[in-house]
Chains A and B, each alone.
Chain A
Amino acid sequence: MDRNVSDVVAIDRNVSDVAFKNVNNTLVEASNQTNLKWPLIIFAILSLLGFVGFSIKVFVEGVGSQQWGYHAALVAFLLSSIQSAPMVAIAPRVAKAHWRRSTSRIAEIFGLLGIVNLLLFIPLMWILPSLADGRRSLWFYDALEGVSPYSPHIWAILAIVVLAFLGVFYLWLSLLPDFAILRDHSKVGTVRKKIFKFLSGRWWGSSSNWYMHKHRLGIVGAHYFMLLVFVHFLYSMDFCMSLVPGWIDALFPITHAANALQAGVAVFIVTMYIIYRFGGYREYIGLDQFWALSRLLFALSLLWFWFWFSSFIILWYGGKPSERFVLELLMAGPYIYVFIPVFILNFAGPLLIMMWNAVRKSILGPTIVSIGVLIGTMLDRVRLYVGAYSVSTEPDKYALHSVPNTIWPQFSSDVLLWIGSISAVILLYLMVAKLIPLVNIAEQKELLLYKLHKEFHRTKVMVLGKPE
């Protein structure tokens, strides 16, 4: 099957209405055409509320308050959703899945938003007690000599800083060819041209440029994934499990990370739906992407259940007193009304809804389930972190002897902080969306070369090239 680049449009008429040579123009213009003035203003105002909430928390409630569990839960939620979303670009890219090409940018932008979470994490450095209180920890402070009592603080901040910057770096790397296109499409002498020239870092599209580009994306992506899992490991251990005496669950860090991947896919699907519906990218985003991701979301929802059940059955079956109290704290006791919706939204709902092919193979079905998963993950983080911070005053650091009462959120601080932080994330996303195309131009053009439809007996089939 022989064809030239210029023929692609003729052959691929029903793949996309966008001609190969027009991809540059349409995608460069698409981001400029969307009017985001009012959303930007609204989310900027809501972001300010976050500052108000944070100020009230620091100056009115004080740093010793058990109420900081909500702040820790917020950091965990953002770590589990926005900072996991880049995996939706990284994993399919490593697996060379073609469907990702038009949507990988949407996921990569979330890497930049990790900066917001990094800022939110900083106050927790003051909130988390040092290891001198004698609790069990990953760092074996009492058992080993020379261990700093601030090891959790030091390693967590290091890991989270590197993760945030790796997310930004990954976005920049993937943007290089597009920055060069934007550079070439800007008028000579303008600031825009200079900025894109700087950002495109001497990209000329040579074979060597492309070769290095693909390898760097693979290497940085793999590191992002490993670091993401490591951050979940540290954060879930040091900022949650070790605060609860007697809670020993080797599977918890992995459950935390798996739930994060689930929420990462969910936040991506919701974002993709909004962009599909309101962003002017319908020629690029379609059922293929929703279908592929709905299967992934379905699988991750089942994985959540398996991990949760594997932990639960061992703790419940073992029946040790300390383990019974832990189960009561996190599931059956003061947070049971949070745990039930978590179970429904993260597992039962996705299972019962997405087991139907018609739902999986739709645009609205996966979006609705994703919204549920995001709410479920948010509640799950509240259940775990608020529960953990509520027992931080327990005198026995090796076993829980009673279950504390529910800690309810304060509207003036916790609720405002949550609203403000999530708004800040959305605001930053919208600002980025104004500056760069939300579809990876280079990858989209590559797809048009690899994909075509052809007659096959009495039907028409899709032929997909696999260059590697």
Chain B
Amino acid sequence: MQEHVQLDQKEINKDLLDTIFHTPMWWYLAVTFFGVVFLIGASAFGYLLNQGLGVTGLNRPVFWGAYVVNFVFWIGISHAGIMISAILRLTQAEWRRPITRAAEVLTVFALTAALMAAPLVHTGRPWRAFLPTPWILPYDFARGIWPNIRSPFVWDPMAISTYLVASSLFIFIALLPDLAIIRDRSTGLRRVIYSFLCLGWRGTPRQWKLQIVAGILLSALVLPVFVSVHSIVSWDFAVQIGTEGWHSTIFAPYFIIGAIHSGVAAVATLMAVMVWVWKLHKYITPDHFDAIGRLLIVVGLTWFFFFFLEWVFALYTLEDPEIAMRKLQVFQWPWSGMFAVFLITSFIIPVTAWLFRAVRRSLLWMFITTILVNVGMWLERFLIIVPGLMRRTHLVFDWGSYQPSIIELLMVIATFAWLCLGMLVFSKIFPLVPLFDIKEAMINREKIKIGRKEIPASIRE
């Protein structure tokens, strides 16, 4: 971190609490816009409930389409928070400080978007999961039908719900000191609410110690959950031996690294938005973009290596159906076009661009390249799921294809609107940048003069 902007505590409070105490007009407009888009998606869901799955493009043999693609995509994005927050916290990377909270919040809203995206929609008559004769919650053991605990479909909700709880707890623990600051600056009902939320935080040494220990412990404990979530999602596919392109041992790490690639890219996108919309340029500087750009190069290259291995081993099988599916992905329109777009946008353009320092330090370029990554990664999931299910092999009675219907597309768009809406509402209630972390960074900053040069330094524990 070469750019040291020294800010006093008063200035930090004023800057970072501004959105909570003053609501600008753009916020109302943005909330209205995303709210309307979300409601349109919700209406599409209502229509789907009313009419049944026939209104989607799903048909045999492709029974998993845009919903499952979207589910995997959002689970991938949800890996942003833990990657940025937990791992960088454990490795004591200083540049993490202004972006940890936003990344954690992104995790939680991405997880809820994932839950909206697929599981209930795909069950058919989803209301029957709960009412009137529930088959999920509460589970009707009286029927003597036990869930198949060997199925990844049973592991999925366990892992995702654990991850959601752990991530929420992670945010809440880190919010406590900031909530106390808001409490101290509020009056009336707002003060009562924040007093309740901050759990009596007074900033005593014991409270600080407990908060730091809890943060570190949660960071360490949430890591295995983070790994398990996308591993299990990948096993939804990989444990099947009948679908070409799915039965691969590399799927778990390949999905995880893909998730980190798209998640960290999403954080970089969010950082640019935070600077533009919330005017946080004093806190999120080109140095931060440079650091996350470097991280993205490493993650992107690693992801590409896994992608390469996945392909090499698909061909290594020398099995006709597998190779036919790969040919379909690469040579047959429209899959070939999608494949080209996926590869160019998720790897070739962004990783090449990030090699240049000027790109890494440019908000606009980082915004564009990271958006490209996520366009590519969405397509990647689509290309894994749909062509595999098309089963264009011998002795298959139906060579079906798939095209998402307008209902599916509206619901997919609604999940994006949900995320934006969630972030906006969160930013109105809680600070998007952790105040205490920034203040700690300011206190930790030093400079060492060696000869004629002054170099930045920081206090280490």
The stretch among B174-182, B335-343, B394-402, B453-461 that forms the contact with chain A is: B453-461
A275 and B313 alpha carbons, distance in the complex (Å): 43
Q: A463-B459, A465-B455, A466-B455 are in contact. Are A250 and B250 (CB under 8 A)?
A: yes
By the criterion CB–CB under 8 Å, are A314 and B249 in contact? yes
Contact-residue size bin, chain A (C-beta under 8 Å from the other chain): 35 or more
A381 and B194 alpha carbons, distance in the complex (Å): 58
Q: Within 8 Å of chain B (Cβ to Cβ): is A315?
A: yes
A445 and B235 alpha carbons, distance in the complex (Å): 51
Closest Cβ of chain A to B209, distance in Å, is 14
Q: Within 8 Å of chain B (Cβ to Cβ): is A331?
A: no
By the criterion CB–CB under 8 Å, are A463 and B239 in contact? no
Q: Within 8 Å of chain A (Cβ to Cβ): is B251?
A: yes
For window 423-468 of chain A, which residues contact chain B by CB distance below 8 Å?
A: 449-450, 452, 454, 456, 461-468
Partner of B1 from the list A136, A302, A466 (CB cut-off 8 Å) is A466
Partner of B241 from the list A143, A306, A320, A468 (CB cut-off 8 Å) is A320
A295 and B345 alpha carbons, distance in the complex (Å): 36
A3 and B456 alpha carbons, distance in the complex (Å): 14
Closest to B312 in A: A138
By the criterion CB–CB under 8 Å, are B227 and A306 in contact? yes
Closest Cβ of chain B to A455, distance in Å, is 11
Most buried by B among A140, A143, A229, A314: A314
By the criterion CB–CB under 8 Å, are A464 and B458 in contact? yes
Q: Within 8 Å of chain A (Cβ to Cβ): is B164?
A: no
Partner of A464 from the list B2, B249, B317, B457 (CB cut-off 8 Å) is B457
Q: Within 8 Å of chain B (Cβ to Cβ): is A5?
A: yes
Q: Within 8 Å of chain B (Cβ to Cβ): is A311?
A: yes
By the criterion CB–CB under 8 Å, are B249 and A249 in contact? yes
A317 and B317 alpha carbons, distance in the complex (Å): 18
Most buried by A among B2, B248, B250, B461: B250
A281 and B99 alpha carbons, distance in the complex (Å): 41
By the criterion CB–CB under 8 Å, are A5 and B448 in contact? no
Closest Cβ of chain B to A308, distance in Å, is 10
Q: A249-B249, A310-B252, A465-B448 are in contact. Are A140 and B315 (CB under 8 A)?
A: yes
A468 and B461 alpha carbons, distance in the complex (Å): 20
By the criterion CB–CB under 8 Å, are B241 and A467 in contact? no
Q: Within 8 Å of chain B (Cβ to Cβ): is A145?
A: no
Q: A5-B451, A465-B456 are in contact. Are A254 and B306 (CB under 8 A)?
A: yes
By the criterion CB–CB under 8 Å, are A311 and B249 in contact? yes
Q: Within 8 Å of chain B (Cβ to Cβ): is A132?
A: no
Chain B residues bordering chain A, tally (CB within 8 A): 40
A-contact 0/1 string along B240-266, CB 8 Å cutoff: 010000011111110000000000000
For window 1-22 of chain A, which residues contact chain B by CB distance below 8 Å?
A: 1-5
By the criterion CB–CB under 8 Å, are B449 and A2 in contact? yes
Residues of A within 8 A of B249 (CB): 249-252, 310-311, 314-315
By the criterion CB–CB under 8 Å, are A461 and B456 in contact? no
A250 and B317 alpha carbons, distance in the complex (Å): 10
By the criterion CB–CB under 8 Å, are B460 and A1 in contact? no
By the criterion CB–CB under 8 Å, are A1 and B447 in contact? yes
Closest to B152 in A: A317
Q: A251-B250, A310-B253 are in contact. Are A466 and B457 (CB under 8 A)?
A: yes
Q: Within 8 Å of chain A (Cβ to Cβ): is B145?
A: no
Q: Within 8 Å of chain B (Cβ to Cβ): is A307?
A: yes
For window 439-457 of chain B, which residues contact chain A by CB distance below 8 Å?
A: 446-451, 455-457
Residues of A within 8 A of B252 (CB): 306, 310
Q: A138-B312, A229-B305 are in contact. Are A314 and B238 (CB under 8 A)?
A: yes
Q: Within 8 Å of chain A (Cβ to Cβ): is B231?
A: yes
A315 and B252 alpha carbons, distance in the complex (Å): 13
Closest to A97 in B: B91
By the criterion CB–CB under 8 Å, are B316 and A138 in contact? yes
Q: Within 8 Å of chain A (Cβ to Cβ): is B318?
A: yes
A462 and B459 alpha carbons, distance in the complex (Å): 6
Residues of A within 8 A of B309 (CB): 233, 250-251, 253-254
Q: Within 8 Å of chain A (Cβ to Cβ): is B310?
A: yes
By the criterion CB–CB under 8 Å, are A143 and B253 in contact? no
A467 and B458 alpha carbons, distance in the complex (Å): 11
Closest Cβ of chain B to A426, distance in Å, is 33
Q: A1-B448, A314-B248 are in contact. Are A465 and B239 (CB under 8 A)?
A: no
Residues of A within 8 A of B253 (CB): 251, 254, 306-307, 310
Closest Cβ of chain B to A155, distance in Å, is 14
By the criterion CB–CB under 8 Å, are B459 and A3 in contact? no
Q: Within 8 Å of chain B (Cβ to Cβ): is A318?
A: yes
By the criterion CB–CB under 8 Å, are B318 and A143 in contact? yes
A302 and B253 alpha carbons, distance in the complex (Å): 13
* 5 chain-A/chain-B pairs, Cβ below 8 angstroms: A138-B316, A140-B318, A456-B459, A463-B457, A463-B459
Q: Other than the known A306-B252, A449-B448, what 8 A-B pairs have Cβ atoms closer than 8 Å?
A: A140-B315, A233-B309, A250-B313, A313-B235, A314-B251, A317-B239, A464-B458, A468-B2
Interface pairs A-B: 10 shortest CB-CB: A250-B313, A250-B250, A310-B252, A465-B457, A311-B249, A317-B239, A251-B249, A465-B448, A314-B249, A251-B250
- Give the A-binding residues of B (Cβ under 8 A): 1-2, 224, 227, 231, 235, 238-239, 241, 247-253, 305-306, 309-310, 312-318, 446-451, 455-461
